[in-house]
Amino acid sequence: MTLYPLDIGAPEIVVRALTKRFGEREVLRGIDFSINAGELVAIVGASGGGKTVLLDHLTGLMVPSEGTVNVVDHTKPDTPMVDLNEIDDDRLDEVRLAWSIVFQRNALFSGTVFDNIALWLREHAGMSEEQIARRVRESISAAALDVDDVIGKDRDSLSGGMAKRVAIARAIAADPLVLFYDEPTTGLDPVISAQIHELIWNVHHRARQGETHAAGKAKRTSIVVTHDKDLLRRLGPRVVMLDQGRVVYDGAYEQFQHSTHPAAVEYLRKMPELHGREA
């Protein structure tokens, strides 16, 4: 399977007038923003503020009440963006070949680390067992884990930090162009969190499989839903802040720190220790 990278800065995901209601409750109220190829974007905001709901729309897991999410199909070079809500399931599967999602609770299935990482490759990558075994080992190693120590471990015996790394290793194994992370450090202690920050950074900048990187082409695009301020400080991403279902800040982290929007001030004021415990 060949994936075609975009030029750096070309639109990867375009969200227009996105509204989501659950019954009477309007969680997203007209969201507009685009994510461009090669960007590292953090989506921040209060707990319960709609970050995961927004992420679920970006990945086609939820259907908008109103508005659109347009994305690139990386399996076809030079084709127009597709509306996630208009395409059929086969096309959606195709679009998803270029994506990996690291879920908040990791979504590892019962079985070994090897099984968890190999499954997607067996189903989608058209690789031999030998190639799969090699890719699994490379991915575990890229997630800064000791391959021989971890590969045969059962999901249920992994610590929180290790399970997160395995989830990231599984994401890397698919060699995606776009990575989505939902709260990758929530519930992890500061030392482990710092290692996860570094891992997200390394994965973002890591060359893809067998790629002799073409000039002007984006490597990866990373979208991180988080309320971890240390992550922002370390990775210095573009920050998109949600408040009351709207985007209230969209720009560089350097400026975000000086934002005078009440939601940003409140967010930046809160003690980091409290954040780790929020679900």
Ligand X SMILES: Nc1ncnc2c1ncn2[C@@H]1O[C@H](COP(=O)(O)OP(=O)(O)O)[C@@H](O)[C@H]1O
Rounded Cα distance, 207 and 170, in Å? 16
- Per-residue binding string, ligand X, 48-87, x by CB under 6 A, is xxxxxx----------------------------------
Say if CB 41 and CB 61 are below 8 A apart. Answer: no
Q: Residues 43, 49, 52, 243: which binds Mg ion (CB under 5 A)?
A: 52
Residues 20-49 that bind ligand X (CB under 6 A): 22, 27, 45, 47-49
> Least distance in Å: CB of 57 to ligand X?
10
Report the residue number, 57 or 219, with the smaller CB distance to ligand X: 57
Stretch that binds Mg ion, among 52-60, 91-99, 197-205, 241-249 (CB under 5 A): 52-60
Report the residue number, 52 or 100, with the smaller CB distance to Mg ion: 52
Residues 70-129 that bind Mg ion (CB under 5 A): none
Provide the phi-psi class of 189: left if phi over 0, else alpha when psi is between -120 and 50, else beta. Answer: beta
Report the residue number, 38 or 64, with the smaller CB distance to ligand X: 64
> Least distance in Å: CB of 206 to Mg ion?
26
Residues that bind ligand X (CB under 6 A): 22, 27, 45, 47-53
Residues that bind Mg ion (CB under 5 A): 51-52
